[in-house]
Amino acid sequence: MVLRVATWNVNSVTARVERLVGWLGSAKPDVLCLQELKSTDAQFPAEQVAALGYEAATWGTGRWNGVAILSRVGLADVERGWPGLPEFEGVLEPRAITATCGPVRVTSVYVPNGREVGHVHYDYKLSWLDSLAAAVAGPAAGEMPYAVLGDFNIAPTDADVWDISLFAGSTHVTPGERAKLADLEGHGLVEVLPRALKYDKPFTYWDYRQLAFPKNNGMRIDLVFANPAFAGAVSDAFVDREERKGKGASDHAPVVVDLTV
């Protein structure tokens, strides 16, 4: 069977309920990891997604983060965060949720932005990524197909931003951040590279300002890291750039991975 797993920074689930429901109906993912809910658990549109056959596991406090996993192939063993997840200014932010969905286990992550190099939030980002690497070591080494999907707020290479010269000294492209992605690979996870169908640069994020999307001035920061059992089953992967178009779109596009399991 083909299992479709996707990740999408929806940038406010309450503001984009219609887009979310529409995309679930057209793309028909079996599992969808969401980030930046900007809603509480009670505000999440569980009834709307349930009408399409999806169970939902959410972790949101209504602030500038929040994560969820939707599944129509089962939802079990849900974990919100993990032991040792760092706090920011005394607050444990809802940035990671894990669940078993049918034959796979997935973690939806919304990695801290970092704001600017030298800022306390940048240090928090690096500590958070260290915590992530430690948390995924166990499932990464397991036999069950496992993947970490979400908005990593890191462009893996210079080719993953539209003009690297504009990012000198900025977050998202620093050696320190990219080294943390390498730590994930050190635990046996590999990146499942999206293959854009029409574009040579499969970006996943475009700012709302300065006509960034029409100009394709984007970044590839929504990533999928998988263990061998998951990566070996991948039959296709792509960025659904069409979902970034039109009124009320998120500033991120969904990343879709098809598995043969």
Count how many domains the chain has. Answer: 1
- Cα torsion angle, 8, 101, 62, 111, sign: negative
Q: What is the pLDDT of residue 201?
A: 76
**How far is Cα 18 from Cα 247, in angstroms, rounded to an integer?**
11
User: What integer pLDDT is reported at residue 196 of this predicted model?
Assistant: 56
Q: Please, what's the largest Cα pairwise distance for the chain?
A: 48
Report pLDDT for 200.
74
| Per-residue pLDDT at 169 | 87
Nearest to 129 by CA among 173, 162, 178, 171: 178
The domain of 239 spans: 2-260
DSSP tag of 112:
-
Give pLDDT < 70 ranges for the chain: 194-198
Q: 18 near 248, Cβ under 8 Å?
A: yes
CATH assignment at residue 25 = 3.60.10.10
Query: Residue 84, by phi and psi: left (phi above 0), alpha (psi -120 to 50) or beta?
Result: left
Q: Give the pLDDT confidence score for residue 198 in this predicted structure.
A: 65
- Rounded Cα distance between 133 and 181, Å, is 9
What percent helix, strand, coil does the chain show, rounded to 5? 25, 30, 45
Whose CA is closest to 226, among 205, 257, 195? 257
Instruction: Please tell me the distance from the alpha carbon of residue 244 to that of residue 261, in angstroms, as a whole number.
Output: 29
Q: What angle do CA 221, 211, 171 make, to 5 degrees?
A: 35
pTM (predicted TM-score): 0.97
**Cα separation of 35 and 9, whole Å?**
4
Contact 222, 255 (CB under 8 A): yes
